[in-house]
A and B are shown apart, each in its own frame.
Chain A
């Protein structure tokens, strides 16, 4: 049974790194990379497990749910695990050279692995309170990682993020308390069963609002987005890639869809709220991004906008919309982490994040420039790259569901994204080389290797929708389409 290893490996690695990282040279680098690599292998193996068994339930300590805690691996969980562990492995590889700039690498890897343990835990957890505990592990590690540089701006961003994140966690805990009071159980499948047998009441709606506010803040949907543009650029670039690439998706989007689709059960009102929040985030994020001159801050605003696409797609509730939303979730994690790693490479060589001070970096840093071009075209939705397919599916799904206004918003958002990334390419990489940067060099090989791998995934990522690779995506979509049928699936797997 591989399920507990998704939590045990990163937790154990964090423990060992914090103990021996200082004493043995290169131990932290080696263990973090081996740990994330093994997690990637395990998560790829989980695809084949899901293909044969559909759903797997692990009983922690042998106690039978609903009394005991369980871990659940289904299509959606395996899809998210592949995404998280793929990005985290490449980021760990990138960090070997990049984190030389900072002191105390072992502490960085300890926090990194703790964050990874939290995220994997959220994905595999089948118990609502366990989900909360893992969410807090991931959140606390990310607060500390945002402040890792301990400069004035970083501390300020981290404080803001920590305060808002803690308030969100309190909302989530309050929601869990109310739900426990109403159903007297914490197992997710069992909660769904109890809710199904009771008549619908106001309290469930109130719990829904609490969860939407709490997890919406973690996902940085628009009324709750204020922390993201400060926190994500302030972190070291490799952590920005993790935060924007996977953390907001696992803590926010995954938790929202798991709870609303599989636990409470989705209805028209919730769907239309999700769609509205998605469309607003999509437009507000991209409009705020247009006027930014700080490379990483611009990318952070685009994260808000792209999460809007994901939520809009999933909020449509149709099979095609959910497919588009989840596909965009995967694609965004790839190209946004690539963009943040590129910004890190620029900072590594130049030491500045201001786009106006760059220019003509293409001749000095060809790998960074070309991978950034690939990622920019992906995020803007230019045809052969992966971003095009997912955005196209979302827009088609909007039209199919007769939400023409939202389809129009999605097209506008896409055009503005393109405009914004043309600005990045023009100011940073094209044009004449600034005299000041005559002596810069391309970044070390571990950094460009992970950037090239991500760029290749950007190019071939569109292939996920061809029939050969489609089951990977389709099994995740099926979990959402199953809706509250999740409980029967879990209890059937227990027997």
Chain B
């Protein structure tokens, strides 16, 4: 149970980082933490105590394997978050070129 609570705590830390930090790079890191927490949670769902890797060979008996589907899904999800992070970092660099700052309280040309 404790690992689920820690996972949820990690999620909340990431959310705090996104909502409260003023530096846009820290916000991007916060997004990364959120994504790690969700991925970790996904892997934990497939975990079985003393389970082994789900590889089916000829002389193996099928017993107590971890669930392979969440692992496959997490791989997909990691690739997606890589794409999002790369895009956001690229945007952050362009923002720095235009505004000369990483502070979101100074990046405020849109109003209304």
Contacts and interface: CB of A to CB of B under 8 A. Distances in A.
- Determine if chain A interacts with chain B: yes
A186 B98 contact: no
A95 to B, nearest CB: 22
Majority secondary structure of chain A interface residues (helix, strand, loop or mixed): helix
Interface residues of B, number: 35
A384 B77 CA distance: 48
Contacts of A229: 112
Given A133-B80, A153-B110, A167 B18 contact: yes
A155 B94 contact: yes
B73 interface: yes
B76 interface: yes
B34 A167 contact: yes
B24 interface: yes
Contacts, number: 93
Contact of A129 (B73, B87, B88): B73
A173 interface: yes
Interface residues of A, number: 36
Interface in A385-415: none
B45 to A, nearest CB: 4
Contact of B34 (A150, A151, A170): A170
B109 A140 contact: no
Interface string B72-107: 010011001101100110011011001100000001
Contacts of B76: 129, 133
A177 B18 contact: no
Contacts of B80: 133, 136, 140, 169
Among B27, B34, B67, B112, find the residue whose CB has the most chain A CB atoms closer than 10 A. Answer: B112
Contacts of B41: 174, 177
Contacts of A153: 109-110
Interface string B30-47: 010011001001100100
B87 A162 contact: yes
B31 A173 contact: no
A290 B88 CA distance: 33
B110 A157 contact: yes
A170 B35 contact: yes
B112 to A, nearest CB: 6
B77 A173 contact: yes
Contacts of B110: 153, 156-157, 230, 234
Nearest to B95: A155
Contacts of A158: 91
Contacts of A173: 38, 42, 77
A313 B70 CA distance: 37
A174 B95 contact: no
24 contacts: A133-B76, A136-B84, A140-B87, A144-B87, A147-B91, A152-B109, A156-B109, A159-B88, A162-B84, A162-B88, A163-B18, A167-B18, A169-B80, A170-B11, A170-B34, A170-B35, A173-B38, A173-B77, A174-B11, A177-B45, A177-B70, A180-B45, A180-B73, A184-B67
Interface of B: 11, 15, 18, 24, 27, 31, 34-35, 38, 41-42, 45, 67, 69-70, 73, 76-77, 80-81, 83-84, 87-88, 91-92, 94-95, 98-99, 107-110, 112
Given A167-B15, A184-B67, 8 more contacts: A136-B83, A153-B110, A155-B94, A157-B110, A159-B24, A162-B88, A163-B18, A166-B31
A188 B73 CA distance: 16
Contacts of B34: 166-167, 170
Interface of A: 129, 133, 136, 140, 143-144, 147, 150-153, 155-159, 162-163, 166-167, 169-170, 173-174, 177, 180-181, 184, 186, 229-230, 234, 291-292, 294, 297
A230 B70 CA distance: 36
Given A140-B84, A174-B41, A152 B77 contact: no
B84 A155 contact: no
B94 A150 contact: yes
The 3 closest A-B pairs by CB, nearest first: A152-B98, A181-B45, A177-B42
A162 B38 contact: no
Nearest to B83: A140
B81 to A, nearest CB: 8
A170 B83 contact: no
Nearest to A146: B91
B11 to A, nearest CB: 7
A18 B107 CA distance: 33
A159 B94 CA distance: 10
Given A163-B18, A177-B41, A181-B45, A155 B11 contact: no
A140 B45 CA distance: 27
Contacts of B83: 136, 140
A200 to B, nearest CB: 21
